[in-house]
Chains A and B, each alone.
Chain A
Amino acid sequence: MAETRPPATIAGGGPGQRGCTGRLIGPLLAAPVTLWLLLAFAAPLVVVVLLSLHAAPDPFGALFQSPSLAQFAMLAEDRFYLKLVGETLALAAGVTLLTVLLGYPLALWLTRLPLRWRSLGFAVILIPLLTNVVVRSLGIVLLLAPDGLINQVLVALGLQPWRGMLYTHGAVAIALAQVFMPFMVLALYDVLQGTSPRVHEAAQSLGASPMTRLLVVDLPLSLPGLRAGIIIVFLMASTAYVSATLLGGKKVLTVGMIVWQEALQNLNGPLASALSLVLTGTSTAFAVAIFFVARQLMPWKESRPGSVLSLPRWLMVTLDLVGPVLGKLLLACALLLLLLPLVLVCIQSFNDVPQATVAGFRAFTLEWYRRVLFGGAYGAAFVTSFQLACASAVVAIALALPAAFALARHRFRGLTALGAFWTLPLSLPHIAIGVGMLRLLQVYTALPPFFGLMAVHVVLILPFAIALLQTSVEQLDKAQEEAAASLGAGPASRLALITLPGLAPGLAAACIMSFLLSFGEVTVTSFLTTARLTTLPVRIYSEAAFSLEPTVHAVSALLIVATMLALAALNRLVQLDRLYAR
């Protein structure tokens, strides 16, 4: 009997779940997020599906036409598109691997930072999300250029410089790994710092070296976070196109770039939609595969017996020798990648040059700050973006938290499929969502502009918020709740006094991430922006189309300072460390 029951229910089933109301808890928790996505996301998704079934492009044609598989047939027959999808997925896999290699040591470093330094550590992790793609890619260019930082080091070491590093898949992978690293680190942070020190002491008392402990204790226990991080990064990397354009110099083609080109430059909605759906299908299949592989690797989650992991002695000795050095090297690389844009922003925001992409420092000026702070237009756009990001983050968290509880504790038949639907906004190229929204512009413009934009931002944030919060909920110590219940605490007081404080670090991470995702969103927003509602990234992007001025660096610098202050304040209000919070 136990074997036919959904496994997670056994692991996560709490008191009062077995009755009729108990069975309804899961669907009730899953309902709000599903409803929101059905209202705000299903419509553009249906448009994308309908467009992909058009036989030929016609920007003014009716949306409902007799369905044709012509676009898909063309994609299947054309080796160019097959290669394109293959290369894009391979690039995404490479980026994911790189992000894991760099993000894991970084997450470990963050959990070991003294608590008073931790908010600063968080700020460092978040730098890529606080800086504009232009300054980030400038950093990578300066790193990989023929006379760049790496080649200068090679020459200093008496080695041959490598002049062909820029405009390659490797350059794009580094750029994407840099910007997606925060997602991996935040997904890992909560699970890593949630591991009790007693587990470490137990491993140590049994003779495990730090390296052994990392491999056989920390790594398996962090699998839920790793799984969330890998899925998020892989899906994001598979749809990326801006960094790929800036650092691939069109020598690297991705599906996202071709979707953008077909949808906007060639006004070929059907081809762009079909290509987007093919990418979404293949990358979602990968995400589902990761999900199941991770489940197999975590037998204890389902009370299944696990196999004993034993490594040969020679390997352990080698790892003990190499591991710490390698770990420090990877951490140094990760920190360098994160801090590079910060250094550049600090220099560039005071640099008296005409364009944002100038590398050398010419002369000191405060002009860019003056324009941002007193130019008028930036201030208004900043306020719009700030309000939008706050509202979107609050709504997204309110919807994602119940969904995370459903996924972690109250599973029901069909939830896996529903969970895949919740992830769709992440795997569908944003440009395709934009194209879908364009067809619905009449419906959309009937809404108050702020609410309309917020509805879309919430859709884009939800997959991240759900993934991060699911991991946090899974990490909650149920024994504490049961202890509270046995002492007479009702559901409300258990939620307020035990569950929410326990979730504080995860909630804080999800809030910050949601805020920054909304604050930086430009792809879909640039289709929906109106004369009265221009966000800061759209304003910056509109300049990039012509020539970007260093005001963009001043904006980034102010944003970094504001985030540091906000994190310091947050650190006082909420303990960013789960063990202290408990």
Chain B
Amino acid sequence: MTLNRRTFGKLVLGAGVIAPYAFSRTALAQPKPGDELVVGIWGGAQERIVKEHVEKALVAKYGCKVSYVLGGTPERRARAYAERGRPSFDVLYLNIFESRQAVKDGVTQAPTAAVPQFANLHEAAKLGGYGVALNPCTIVYDKRKAAKPITSWKDIWNPEWKGRIAWPSYPGAQGTAGLLMAAKIFGGSESNIGVGFDKIKELKPFAAIQGSQDQLFQMFDQGVADLSVEFGSFTRKYAETRNPNIEIVNPVEGQAITMNVACITVGTQNQKLAEEWINLHLSEPCMLAYAAETYYSPTVKGLNIPDALKSKLVLGDDVGKLVDFDWDLVIKSQAAWSSRFNREIAG
């Protein structure tokens, strides 16, 4: 069969008319009862909160089923990368820098206004997916061991902390925050990270390098270390329930931004359900449940936060004061930085 110019033109025109339909077909497909949404998320409190405040409402509205793939971020991310374009997840939760890279790599979708709550998100929460919880990293320390209260990131370098610091492991949200802040406050930056490494080296010897908040809390409990860089949110919970001597600093230079991000996979067969899921996650009841149970700060503007919670969260203008970074450069440099961290800081 041969194509003359006219037939070819008609075909091109036809394809042009059909293409947008094909492109948006999954987005327009309405959920049917019995459809299954697969969500990749952390276990424990997070799983409990979304089951209560997101799943119930979604199932009530569409008669769908929600299944969870539970695990840590690294495994979830590795799996999503291996399944690019033919995902077994519809929604997956990542950290701030991983989520932006995943969009660039074509693994997850950039956020759109198809999720109604998108309009109410803080600007920082509109990149690389839908930011669902602000969870900044800051200095946490045992106030009994401090000559005077810590107010600046530079205070970490006071000689009184020598040998008493549990520096956070890199890569990882806390370690990334620690490294970037060390560089920034001493005149370096993401593109001049050597300053950060050199300053962190000055802090050696460390009491230990901590790899997770649970491990750090154990170090505080046992008197092994007295200072670290950690998520302020859950450390506050720890201080309130287990160790009132732990202080969470709001440094003059600001806390380092960290965020949990909900991402919709490229190639999902449940686009509408996934968008509804995220919209429900960004709803007031769910944001407030997270705030009350884990002290995660909402990413949505204009919520009615109970007064008792206000002082424990990052809200309003304070969100703008969080220190943000060039995450593209950070993720691009991760392999080189982690190699350097292993050689110069850890071990």
Contact = CB atoms under 8 A, between A and B. Distances in A.
A520 interface: no
A296 interface: no
Interface string A533-572: 0100011111111111100000000000000000000000
A108 interface: no
Interface residues of B, number: 60
Contacts of A531: 36, 38, 67-69, 88
A360 B218 CA distance: 11
B214 A355 contact: yes
B45 interface: yes
Contact of B78 (A57, A264, A530, A549): A264
A527 B78 contact: yes
Given A358-B221, A441-B82, A545-B43, A265 B214 contact: no
B72 A250 contact: no
Nearest to B242: A358
A96 to B, nearest CB: 22
A80 B77 CA distance: 28
Interface stretch (B119-127, B203-211, B251-259, B306-314): B203-211
A59 B166 CA distance: 33
Interface in B65-111: 67-75, 77-79, 81-84, 86, 88, 105
Contact of B171 (A252, A253, A265): A265
Contact of A249 (B38, B211, B237): B211
Most buried by A among B75, B77, B81: B75
Given A359-B221, A548-B44, A267 B234 contact: no
A165 B71 CA distance: 32
Interface string B314-347: 0000000000000000000011001000110011
Contact of A267 (B72, B81, B166): B81
A363 to B, nearest CB: 12
B201 to A, nearest CB: 15
A253 B347 contact: yes
A539 B70 contact: yes
B213 interface: yes
Nearest to B83: A441
Contacts of B84: 60
B42 interface: yes
A208 interface: no
B62 interface: no
B338 A265 contact: yes
B211 A250 contact: yes
B161 interface: no
Interface residues of A, number: 65
B166 A249 contact: yes
Contacts of A258: 342
A547 B81 contact: no
B91 to A, nearest CB: 12
B242 A266 contact: no
A261 interface: yes
Interface of B is mostly: mixed
A258 B224 CA distance: 25
Contact of A167 (B68, B77, B169, B224): B224
A271 to B, nearest CB: 8
B222 interface: yes
Contact of B347 (A251, A540, A549): A251
Interface in B23-47: 36, 38, 42-47
B2 interface: no
B56 to A, nearest CB: 14
Interface in B207-246: 207-215, 217-219, 221-224, 234, 237-238, 241-242
Interface in A256-285: 258, 260-268
Interface of B: 36, 38, 42-47, 67-75, 77-79, 81-84, 86, 88, 105, 166, 169, 171-172, 206-215, 217-219, 221-224, 234, 237-238, 241-242, 334-335, 338, 342-343, 346-347
Interface of A: 57, 59-60, 80, 134, 138, 141-142, 145-148, 166-167, 245-246, 249-253, 258, 260-268, 353-360, 377, 435, 438-439, 441-442, 445, 526-527, 529-532, 534, 538-549
Q: Which 6 A-B pairs have the closest CB atoms?
A: A531-B67, A249-B208, A250-B209, A542-B43, A542-B70, A545-B72
Given A266-B334, A354-B238, A542-B72, 16 more contacts: A57-B335, A60-B84, A134-B214, A142-B222, A167-B207, A246-B215, A265-B74, A266-B335, A357-B215, A357-B218, A359-B221, A530-B88, A531-B67, A541-B71, A541-B72, A542-B44
11 contacts: A147-B223, A263-B78, A265-B74, A266-B338, A353-B241, A357-B221, A527-B78, A530-B88, A542-B71, A543-B43, A546-B46
